Amino acid sequence: MNIALVRFSYSPTETEGMLFAPPLEPMWTMEQPWRRGGRGGLPFKSCVPDGEYRLVPFLRDNGQQVWALENHDLGVYVKREDRERDDDRFACLIHPGNVVSHSVGCVLPGISRGFLKGERAVLRSGFRNGYALNMLTRLLGRSEHTITISQVEGAK
């Protein structure tokens, strides 16, 4: 299955988009802003560059199953030891979270968007029934997929 992330806002404080994974309703996304650094942006401080990625099941230390993005041509790897260069990215995940500070270069999906303590946020992100990661887990299971990340024309 190929899912799509279409970014519509690249601000100095966050990157916002919409995640399309039919038959699910579109989901809102929150990411770190784009910051230059190695091929894949500044590790742990930037969203990943636009492009097509393998989406690989990934088990976090806390036992949560999430997904890792991987595209070697863009300098994004699943594991640290697979990197070709020291400034390549690894463990760029789709995982639950609400505000940009909950991410170190990962994609945070949510069912709605709003504000938390004055910050732009995605809401209903986690593993509860009706929340974004719960629905993605049911849809994607434990197999590999692809995700295409792009931006709407004129996105800034």
pLDDT tens digit string along 126-143?
999 999 999 999 999 989
pLDDT of residue 106: 96
Query: Which tokens belong to 15?
Result: 């990157």
Calpha distance 91→114 (Å, rounded):
27
Instruction: Please tell me the pTM assigned to this model.
Output: 0.94
Which H or E run contains 133? helix 132-140
- Could you write out the DSSP letters of every residue in 41-77? SSTTTSPPPSEEEEEEEEE-TTS-EEEEEEBGGGTEE
Looking from the CA of 8 toward its CB, the CA atoms found within 13 Å total 7
Do β-strands 76-77 and 89-90 pair in parallel, antiparallel, or remain unpaired? Answer: parallel
d(CA 116, CA 135): 22
pLDDT value for 27? 98
**Contact 69/76 with Cβ under 8 angstroms?**
yes
43-92: pLDDT as tens digits: 999 999 999 999 999 999 898 999 999 999 999 999 999 999 989 999 99
| pLDDT over 90 percentage in the chain | 88
Confidence band, pLDDT 50/70/90 cuts, at residue 144: very high
**Which residue type does 80 have?**
R
Evaluate if residue 156 carries a pLDDT over 80.
no
Question: Could you tell me the residue ranges of all domains in the chain?
Answer: 2-151
Cross-strand bridge partners of residue 148:
4, 52
Tell me how far apart the terminal alpha carbons of the chain are, to the nearest angstrom: 29
Are 76 and 89 spatial neighbours (Cβ–Cβ below 8 Å)? Answer: yes
The pLDDT tens digits of the residues spanning 89-116 come to 999 999 999 999 999 999 999 999 999 9
